[in-house]
Structure 1
Amino acid sequence: MSKRGYHHGNLAQALVDAALVLIEEKGPTGFTVSEAAKRAGVTPAAVYRHFSGREELIAECARQGYEIFADRMEAAYASGLPSALRAFSETGRAYLAFAREHPGHYVAMFESGVPTNRSTALRQVASRANGVLERAAEALSQHIPPEKRPPSSMFASHIWAMSHGVVELFSRNSPGANIPFPPEELLESGIGIYLRGLGLIPPDS
């Protein structure tokens, strides 16, 4: 992007877009503010008119990623209703789709070390995204007898961890690329085993 973007008020977004590419290529600690500025077509000094440094730039990448992620999760959840089971399953698929389609955002959100409580805006949108999976878990867990029902936050965290693990197996040419199952199938079968253990899916289905 040329320097003209700054005069039109687009420099902050141009820097975010540049950082997302660099994060995908080099990881969140593999680039400098100067590199992001060069890719955006501005001087390094111009960066500091919008961001205090690389961490704040990455935090904005994460915030924008959570906005996209929350919207995708909410749409996925709604698409599975009125079936609580289908709605829950759709959120898992949406997680994989987001990681595949927005790798720079995903890394900024989950692998950069930037805490979600770094700013109010980041904390709020991360909470909205997390809340979708918890809501799906809460609705589905109503089918479990109260004495056997895990807390919805734990339920959601189990699926979150499983989804994240599948993403990591298949990301950036990692060894998981040699696993003879597509990531969606791997996650779906894992969720199926988990839900059978909770008695939410009959053993023979």
Structure 2
Amino acid sequence: MHKRGYHHGNLKQALVEAALTLIEEKGPTGFTLSEAAKSAGVTPAAVYRHFEGREDLIAEIARQGYDVFADLLDYAFASGAPSALASFEATGRAYLAFARKYPGHYVAMFESGISINRTPELNLVATRALGVLEKAAEKLSQHIPLEKRPPPQMFAAHIWAMSHGVVELFARGSPGTQSPFPPEDLLETGIGIYLRGLGLIEQDQ
């Protein structure tokens, strides 16, 4: 295991970086605070200056992850302008990109069992990330007659669930779940089917 070491005066972030490596190698429950401290090059007692337990450390990793995640979704949404459809599809691709580039954060956010309500700071950034998807859904759903329009929260939740499923099954190299199609294609076609059902994309001829 690569030992990052603690050299820069930021003990809290050094522990976060050490725990990220451990999460990627062993999962969110496969390491102890003592191991994180050892990897960061400090004594176990030093950990408790910032974290009361492993769950608090993982919650901080999740908070940082959601912060990056929300920024990526927001950037993707803005980059798709002026088309509402392009903006919406871009947020789905950003979900896959985040899971690949930040696997440790992704696991802390979605697979550690840590509630987004554990701290106000974590709840704030997690809500901001979902808010970007809801904003994209709301903009796109303006083209649906009001009486047939799903709530933006439901619309966003469907796409979040679809994106999460593609990531979990096909984008993270899980054993036995290889797909003959790239994850991006799976997500794009899945979103396409969903949007056609809502009448937002014309049916194939």
Give the TM-score band, short-chain normalised.
over 0.9
Tell me which residue corresponds to 1:174: 175
Distance 1:51 1:159 in 2: 34
TM-fit CA distance, 1:173: 2.8
Tell me which residue corresponds to 2:125: 125
Tell me which residue corresponds to 2:88: 88
Distance 1:90 1:175 in 2: 28
TM-fit CA distance, 1:147: 1.2
CA contact (8 A) 2:28 2:108 kept: yes
Counterpart amino acid of residue 173 in structure 1: S
Q: Which has the higher helix share?
A: 1
Counterpart amino acid of residue 184 in structure 1: E
Counterpart amino acid of residue 197 in structure 2: G
Tell me which residue corresponds to 2:58: 58
TM-fit CA distance, 1:15: 0.3
Aligned-residue CA RMSD (Å): 1.1
Q: TM-score under structure 1 normalisation? A: 0.95
TM-fit CA distance, 1:82: 1.3
Tell me which residue corresponds to 2:24: 24
CA contact (8 A) 1:77 1:91 kept: yes
Distance 2:176 2:162 in 1: 17
Q: Percent identity?
A: 72
1:35 matched to 2:38: no
Equivalences for 1:117-196 in 2 at 5 Å? 117-170=117-170, 171-176=172-177, 178-196=178-196
1:125-179, Cα deviation, whole Å (9 max, x unpaired): 1111110000000011110111111111000000000000000012243322x21
Distance 1:195 1:182 in 2: 20
Equivalences for 1:1-12 in 2 at 5 Å? 1-5=4-8, 8=9, 10-12=10-12
Q: TM-score under structure 2 normalisation? A: 0.95
Distance 2:135 2:102 in 1: 24
Distance 1:3 1:36 in 2: 11
CA contact (8 A) 1:196 1:202 kept: yes
TM-fit CA distance, 1:3: 4.5
CA contact (8 A) 1:169 1:175 kept: no
Distance 1:201 1:4 in 2: 54
Distance 2:5 2:125 in 1: 31
**Which blocks of at least 5 consecutive residues in structure 1 are unaligned?**
none
TM-fit CA distance, 1:112: 0.6
Aligned residues: 201
Tell me which residue corresponds to 1:79: 79
1:89-128, Cα deviation, whole Å (9 max, x unpaired): 0000000000000000000001111111111111111111
CA contact (8 A) 2:5 2:39 kept: no
1:54-94, Cα deviation, whole Å (9 max, x unpaired): 00000000000011001000000000011110000000000
